[in-house]
Chain A
Amino acid sequence: MKTIYLDNNATTRVADEVFEEIKPFFTELYGNPSSMHTFGGQIGKYIKKARKQVATLLNCDPSEILFTSCGTESDNNAILGTLSAMPARRKIITSRVEHQAVLATCRSLPAQGYHVVEIDVDKNGRLDMTQLEREIDDDTALVSIMYANNETGTIFPIEEIAKLAKSRGVLFHTDAVQAVGKIPIDLEKLGVDMLSISGHKLHAPKGIGVLYIRKGTHVKPLILGGHQEYGRRAGTENITGIVAIGKACELAQQWIDHENTVVKKLRDRLEKGLLSSCKDAIVNGDVKNRLPNTTNISFEFIEGEAILLMLDQFGICASSGSACTSGSLEPSHVLRAMGVPFTAAHGSIRFSLSRYNTQEEIDFVIEKMPAIIDRLRELSPFVK
């Protein structure tokens, strides 16, 4: 059975070009860049090249790029690293719809005497900017707000938030794990202080992340033990990961137009097709400001895990904000923060596309979905 992979916000396939690029680093080029011999030392230039590739995609200076092990580490480092560099301030502002990498990190802080404020979103997932403006004060050390939401694809007004934070003298970090590679990002124009990236969300392998740290920003290292990454993160460099994310960023640059034209069109085709063939289906999120690859649709009165398992029978991969899929007993915190009723939250399905998807695949999903929805609604006591 052919796999139709529509879960690219969870992870992506490694691009063939990336895979080719990293192969020599497992076999011939396995040296340690810290070594005093040429065999190891020569590796340094590949790290330098990758740093430049990432910086080019984001329009920043290569020295502002810190390689980490994943997006979660980048988020942790940004939040915990700035707080310990700024001990006088005790307040952190984030949003209710952050990824757990940010939310759980922030929620661990009140135990150390910090005050954490989570900004609300409206029913379309848009950030309450008035509340944000009100909350930023002299005691605020950091604002951490995601660039784009992983579940709904809603894009937040990052430039506006950056301006606001700057005008109040507060640091601003954004988790851009879902945004980088999908929409153009220009750090020179944007004015954020820190930004997190995850390699495996943009066709590099798992195990590599990036934290952009604007020059002059004080961030304490999270991992100690060596001089690597200019003393900002100890540990022998993950060369294959670093080379991979460099190449992936170079490719992202080439594909960004495709992402916002072809992929977006496929996403719209899927969304339109499903809404017209399935009754009681609602799109979640801000459809005007949204990642081009993501759609989050609630199929009312049925449960998401059941839909996913039925889709799985056809090799179709998606994800759900239902309680059952998470192993917790409550539906997605993002949909609940938006006030999506339980009737719809439990039956939410996220499709997230990539440049590897085809129109045939999309049409196949549109063809199979109505029968699945009908079948589960036949079983549902809430459908008369």
Chain B
Amino acid sequence: MWDYTDKVKEHFLNPRNVGEIENPDGVGEVGSLACGDALKLTFKLDKDGKIADAKFKTFGCASAIASSSALTEIIKGMTLEEAANVTNKEIAEFLGGLPDQKMHCSVMGKEALEAAIENYKTGSTVTHELEGKVICKCFGVTEKEIETVVLENNLTTVEQVTNYCKAGGACGGCRGEIKRVIDEVRGKLSNDEQPLNKKPSNLTNIQKIQLIQETINEQIRPALQADGGDLELVDVVGDEVIVAFRGMCSGCKMAEFTMRDVVQARLREFVSDTITVTEQK
């Protein structure tokens, strides 16, 4: 049995602000039935731009319901700028804490809030699940989401990341990738001032091609191989790098994101800002 605080139990048994606001100013929906929890948040602003009312509907366990209830209580009366700064930590703290394995419930609350604010500002209802590279395909968790939970909650292990955002909690195929994200974020934290790496200037064509090959071998392929895929360098024409996906990556729905957010991003980071990557079909 979970060790829930009295406040979690109280918000689960008597949740505040249940329902859906008619003609809301912002709507945020995150999660899915498959994932085991989902939250729909709606809010309405008053004439001063403050959140006058917020309501939720949640599918999930006791801590998911309590976190949603807490979220609506926290943001009522806030301006959108204030609300945008609410972290999952604040939601958990409001409830007197959550069990480690249930921290993802507070993260879901924060993500629904982000989505609702985004919806108010741009009218977009695109779930942010596909914003950036998807690392955990089982639960649709992106690199950006993982970075956020690592930063905001000062996480250091893959297990903690799983507790906070579910990534890596099913097939486990992405645990290596999650470790990389943690290392990168932690690396950035420890030497914030230093540039990540020095890009060489004035490369000869041969040196550049060698550096591209090296970067692909060291920075990109291990991550793809961990997911059962691979990548091959086909050609380099000026700043255009032509590659081909192999194994699980070929024909993968996420390949487009992988191409842009991993392959191109790494090559720009390590070789040159002007590199573009295209896939040989």
Contact = CB atoms under 8 A, between A and B. Distances in A.
Given A303-B36, A329-B36, A331-B36, A382 B59 contact: yes
B139 interface: yes
A323 B32 CA distance: 13
A331 B36 CA distance: 8
Contacts of A378: 18
B61 A305 contact: yes
B65 A324 contact: no
A282 to B, nearest CB: 15
Contact of A324 (B15, B57, B61): B61
Interface in B52-78: 57-62, 64-65
Interface string B166-201: 100110000000000000000000000000000000
Interface residues of A, number: 26
Nearest to A326: B101
Chain B interface main SS type: mixed
A381 to B, nearest CB: 4
Q: Which interface residue of B38, B59, B139 has the most chain A CB atoms within 10 A?
A: B59
A380 B40 CA distance: 9
B64 A303 contact: yes
B13 A313 contact: yes
A36 to B, nearest CB: 48
Interface size class of B (residues with CB under 8 A): 20 to 34
Contacts of A330: 36, 169-170
B33 interface: yes
A322 B35 CA distance: 11
Interface in B1-37: 2, 9, 12-13, 15, 18, 29, 33-34, 36-37
Given A342-B34, A379-B18, A382-B38, A329 B61 contact: no
A381 B36 contact: no
Given A322-B36, A328-B169, A346-B33, A306 B18 contact: no
Contacts of B162: 329
Contacts of B13: 310, 313
A309 interface: yes
A305 B62 contact: yes
B37 A303 contact: yes
Contact of B58 (A331, A342, A379): A379
A381 B64 CA distance: 13
A343 B170 contact: no
Contact of A379 (B15, B36, B102, B169): B15
Contacts of A301: 33, 59
Most buried by A among B15, B61, B169: B61
Nearest to A380: B59
B115 to A, nearest CB: 13
A379 B65 contact: yes
A322 B101 CA distance: 14
A374 to B, nearest CB: 13
A104 to B, nearest CB: 15
Nearest to A377: B59
A256 B170 CA distance: 41
Contact of B61 (A322, A328, A380): A322
A327 interface: yes
A310 B60 CA distance: 13
Interface of A: 301-306, 309-310, 313, 322-325, 327-331, 342-343, 346, 378-382
Nearest 8 CB-CB pairings of A with B: A329-B169, A324-B61, A305-B61, A381-B57, A381-B40, A323-B36, A342-B34, A380-B59
14 contacts: A303-B60, A305-B2, A305-B61, A306-B60, A306-B65, A322-B61, A324-B36, A324-B64, A329-B162, A330-B170, A331-B36, A342-B36, A381-B29, A382-B38
Given A324-B60, A379-B15, A382-B38, 20 more contacts: A303-B36, A303-B59, A303-B61, A305-B2, A306-B60, A306-B61, A313-B13, A322-B36, A324-B61, A324-B64, A328-B169, A329-B36, A330-B36, A342-B36, A379-B58, A379-B65, A380-B57, A380-B58, A381-B57, A382-B59
